[in-house]
Amino acid sequence: MGVRVEVHLSKVTRAARALRPYVRTCSAAAGRSRYARDMFRSVILAAARSSRVARLVETAPISRDVVRRFVAGPTSGDALRATRELVGRGLAVTLDYLGEDTLTTDQAEHTKAEYLALLANLSAAGLTPAAEVSVKLSALGQRFDEKLAEANAREICAAAAAASTTVTLDMEDHTTTDSTLEMLSRLRCDFPTTGAVLQAYLRRTEADCRELAKEGQRVRLCKGAYKEPESVAFQSKIDVDKSYVRCMNILMSGHGYPMLATHDPRLVAIGEDRAKWFDRESDQFEFQMLYGIRPDEQARLAESYTMRVYVPYGDAWYGYLMRRLAERPANLAFFARSMSSKK
Ligand code: FDA
């Protein structure tokens, strides 16, 4: 049980070697300019898609600390432990069972069963409604059978309602946005608190915010974590940040329940400011951050607002970890150090 920590030197060496070109390019690129930062992100997201790198990194005896910094652990017991600890410190939680791009009905069934058991356990442990769940439709079969994914999501929403909590549908790459928003609107007919995620880097998102800034709508606003083409997404950080502020203005001045998901100090400050401008009480919106990122800031925000921590768990941590590395050069340095040192 637990993340593997045995030492297989040959595998470490091979994994470190496979990552070396990415690390070297990224170290050179990181922080020098906007173009360098964009290149850094593209290179790491390319590494994330490389099945060779995936195989090597997944099977390398990476330090438990590296994965555990961003992931609660491989089992639902780990997820419950992390949730109990966070809720005990006054934070709210959303749990994500890691897994995406499910390719078979059996995998989709497995993911659904995991969420159903998790929700029952959260309820039995008295951790709902402080804890809700975040679900990727691709993990429920969206890529090969949309009807199956929706039926699975519906069962999870029903289990969440029975456990006095709710579900937020994560948003994945832009090819799934329409399908996800359509499923959301159908699910919301029966489970009105089901939450949406909108990504500020997409050019369409201001319009989607206008559509969803309505009574009862829970909308998580994030920057967006996938590599998207210029035709659909802003490419530079400054354009994404400006879009985030425009979208935040729409949501915070609207009638729904905005969930501001960002670690960006400027955007958090603007969020606090907008709450004052638009007379939002502290229970009429929330901040959200990822597990392991800016924990001190999470604690500070929890003193005044609902601060929800997104807690991923499960064995399939690779894609998730790579997206976190792509966001921040310092994360990659931490990762590379831990691969070349030992547990
Ligand atoms: P960004 O990465 O631009 O960082 C801005 C600043 O934040 C940095 O300059 C630094 O000051 C600070 N910062 C960032 N990371 C830090 C760290 N490790 N330590 C210290 N400071 C740090 N994406 C998606 O496409 N679909 C989804 O469904 C979701 N869901 C989701 C839920 C939640 C709760 C969160 C917080 C995020 C997501 N995301 C997501 C991911 C999101 O799109 C985005 O990729 C990350 O949140 C990173 O963007 P930031 O807004 O944090 O800014």
pLDDT in tens, 166-177: 999 999 999 999
- Closest residue CA from atom 13 of ligand 1: 263
* CB of 226 shorter than 6 A to ligand 1: yes
CA 222 to chain centre: 9
pLDDT in tens, 264-306: 999 999 999 999 999 999 999 999 999 999 999 999 999 999 9
CA distance 64 to 6: 10
Closest approach atom of ligand 1 to CA 262: 51
CA distance 175 to 226: 11
The CA radius of gyration of the chain, in Å to the nearest whole number, is 19
Mean residue pLDDT of the chain comes to 86
Q: Is 92 helix (H, G, I), strand (E, B) or coil?
A: strand
| Block residue for tokens 């070396």 | 20
Would the pLDDT of 318 be above 90?
Answer: no
CA distance 53 to 47: 6
Q: Write down the pLDDT at residue 213.
A: 96
User: Which of 222, 244, 297 for mutating ligand 1's site (highest number of atoms within 8 Å of CB)?
Assistant: 222
User: Average pLDDT in the 247-259 region?
Assistant: 98
* CB of 4 shorter than 6 A to ligand 1: no
CB 143 within 8 A of CB 185: no
Would the pLDDT of 263 be above 50?
Answer: yes
Q: Which residue segments constitute the domains of the chain, with CATH numbers given?
A: 9-67+319-340 (no CATH), 73-316 (3.20.20.220)
Question: Which amino acid makes up residue 88?
Answer: G
Q: Write down the pLDDT at residue 50.
A: 65
pLDDT in tens, 208-242: 999 999 999 999 999 999 999 999 999 999 999 99
Residue 169: closest CA among 145, 136, 202, 200: 136
Catalytic residue list: 170, 220
Residues paired with residue 96 on neighbouring β-strands, in sequence order: 134, 312
Would the pLDDT of 162 be above 60?
Answer: yes
Q: Write down the pLDDT at residue 154.
A: 98
Distance 310 CA to ligand 1 centre (A): 11
Where are any strands of DSSP class E within 227-285?
Answer: 257-261
Supply 209's token pair.
């915010």
Supply 281's token pair.
């009480």
- Closest residue CA from atom 1 of ligand 1: 264
- Closest residue CA from atom 7 of ligand 1: 264
pTM: 0.85
> Residue 30: exposed, middle, or buried by beta-carbon count in 10 A (0-12, 13-18, 19+)?
middle
Lowest mean pLDDT among 46-50, 126-130, 156-160: 46-50
CB 237 within 8 A of CB 267: no
- Closest residue CA from atom 30 of ligand 1: 170
Cα angle 255, 261, 263 (rounded to 5 degrees) comes to 140
Residue 250: closest CA among 210, 221, 215: 210
Helix 146-162 vs helix 177-190: crossing angle, to nearest 10: 40
Closest approach atom of ligand 1 to CA 328: 15
pLDDT in tens, 40-55: 667 666 666 666 666 5
Supply 201's token pair.
């880097």
Helix 9-29 vs helix 329-340: crossing angle, to nearest 10: 150
Would the pLDDT of 83 be above 50?
Answer: yes
Cα angle 95, 99, 101 (rounded to 5 degrees) comes to 135
- Closest residue CA from atom 43 of ligand 1: 224
Question: Which amino acid makes up residue 217?
Answer: Q
* CB of 199 shorter than 6 A to ligand 1: yes
User: Average pLDDT in the 155-162 region?
Assistant: 98
pLDDT in tens, 16-45: 455 555 545 545 544 455 666 666 667 666
| Block residue for tokens 């659909």 | 232
pLDDT in tens, 182-211: 999 999 999 999 999 999 999 999 999 999
Q: Is 113 helix (H, G, I), strand (E, B) or coil?
A: helix
Distance 21 CA to ligand 1 centre (A): 25
Question: Which amino acid makes up residue 61?
Answer: P
CA distance 232 to 114: 34
Would the pLDDT of 98 be above 80?
Answer: yes
Supply 307's token pair.
């601060």
